Structure 1
Amino acid sequence: MQILAALAMFSVAILPAHAAVVDSTVSNGDTLTEAPESFSVTMNEDILQVAGVETANVLYIQDAEGNYYGDGCVTVDGTTASIEPALGEAGEYTFSYTVVSSDTHAVSDTFNFTWEPEADFAAAEAQAEAPTCGAAEESTEATEEATEAEPTDDAATEDAAEEDATEDATASDSETTGEEDAGLPGWAFAVISIALLALIVGVIIGNWVKARRQIEDNRANDDGAPEVDR
């Protein structure tokens, strides 16, 4: 019997320990009045870390409406997995986690707690979808690149002003060209001007000749007229 008991104790000793969470930031029914340094869980053995796999260990904070808070980035340090603290307005919240031990055993649980912050607490932004680590940074970078690619208001205004000026100048040239095409050509104006000048000169000369003849006729009449006795 003693031998059997010793064998049983030896068998239990060599069996691997069952992976379990031994500590967490909050427990069911807790009330928080200040945001903790982080929300974390600690296991009784190292937590698995897989390079390039961000979803092996997941920790979430949700409010009563199911909205998520935080950026979804989990930090693993030995036996502890944690996320940055992010909470919204006062109310009921849940802290959910799924962590995988180094022997690939997954442990999950959810704790309900009450959040009662000070009146001046700056609430974090709620998210309808579960956050993915790095997604917020990628979105910010994409927005910045799009903003840099778009022309500024001043540049757009200047471009629009230049386009308007070009269109006005083109329209003015077209109108001027149309007016020139619709009127008489330049040489016609020159011919008309010369003709008018010749006409005026002709009239002046004609009047001068007429006046000269009238004077000569008057003289001839005076010379041929008989003298009158006084």
Structure 2
Amino acid sequence: MRIRRLLGIGTLTGMLAAALLGFAAAPAQAHNTLVSSNPVAGSVVTEQPGTFAVTTNDALLEAGGSSNAIQVRGPGAETLYYGDGCTTVSGPTLTTPVALGQPGEYTVIWQVISADGHPIDGEFTFTWQPADGQELATGVAAPPVCGESQAPVESGTPTPEPTFTTQTDSLETPEASAPDESSAASSDILWIGAALAIVVVAAVIVLLVVRRRSATNDRSRDDRPDDTPAE
């Protein structure tokens, strides 16, 4: 009976620790990861894609401003951007309409809001070699913002680097583009440490209970009268 009780305490402790460890690991597993893109990274494109897309392994969160964004940067000495800056979230996929301009290597910079609320971003390149008959678009000097008029291309105009923000409708601070990985990692470590501490405390309690019951049994045996007849 005592053994069953102790086994029950040990099982309950193990289940509690496993639940806490699973909860602690959940935030780290919630970050989305890139599954595919259109165009494919490193590919050679000969016809206007029409729609650019990035697809992750989980549903994306819809957020205002430029929290979810795709920017397409073209080749040339004076960097130009293409598209209108407007994006659409559909499940795990973010899309934007883009028409490409002059041939060359293009860079796609993207950012999405992961299922756990953290922004994740990345970039890839592809080569644009338009086939005969493809209509070429005219780029703009600054990263486009959805709903705003596009700046004309002027020779010698400095081109700002693309940045993202999760707070406003303009592209402002590059710091906002990176997830707070250190904060998430610290939270995970705290949860795992708490779970391990519970396991250790539970193990100590079980050990103390076992020792106490063993000592009690020993005293009981010592207090019993010696009924063994003398020879």
Aligned to 1:80: 93
More displaced 10-residue stretch of structure 1: 109-118 or 12-21: 12-21
Q: Percent identity?
A: 35
Deviations 1:133-174 (A, max 9, x none): 01139xxxxxxxxxxxxxxxxxxxxxxxxxxxxxxxxxxxxx
- 1:62 corresponds to 2:73: yes
SS in 2 for 1:109: strand
From 123, 126, 130, the counterpart of 1:110: 123
Q: Would you say the 8 A contact 1:26–1:111 is kept in 2?
A: no
1:5 and 1:31 map into 2 onto residues whose CA distance is 54
1:132 match: 145
Number of aligned residue pairs: 135
Question: Residue 220 of structure 1 corresponds to which residue in structure 2?
Answer: none
Offset of residue 5 of structure 1: 9.5
TM-score by length of 1: 0.51
Aligned counterparts of 1:76 and 1:57: Cα–Cα separation in 2: 8
Q: Give the number of the structure whose residues are more often helix, by fraction.
A: 1
CA contact (8 A) 2:42 2:125 kept: yes
Q: Which amino acid aligns with 1:75?
A: T
- What amino acid is aligned across from residue 55 of structure 1 in structure 2? S
What is the alpha-carbon distance in structure 2 between the residues aligned to residue 129 and residue 22 of structure 1? 28
Deviation readout 1:177-214 (Å, 9 max, x if unpaired): xxxxxxxxxxxxxxxxxxxxxxxxxxxxxxxxxxxxxx
Q: In the alignment, residue 32 of structure 1 is paired with which amino acid?
A: V
Aligned residue for 2:193? none
Greater shift after overlay, 66-75 or 18-27?
Answer: 18-27
Does 1:121 pair with 2:172? Answer: no
Measure, in 2, the Cα distance between the counterparts of 1:9 and 1:37.
47
CA-atom RMSD, angstroms? 2.8
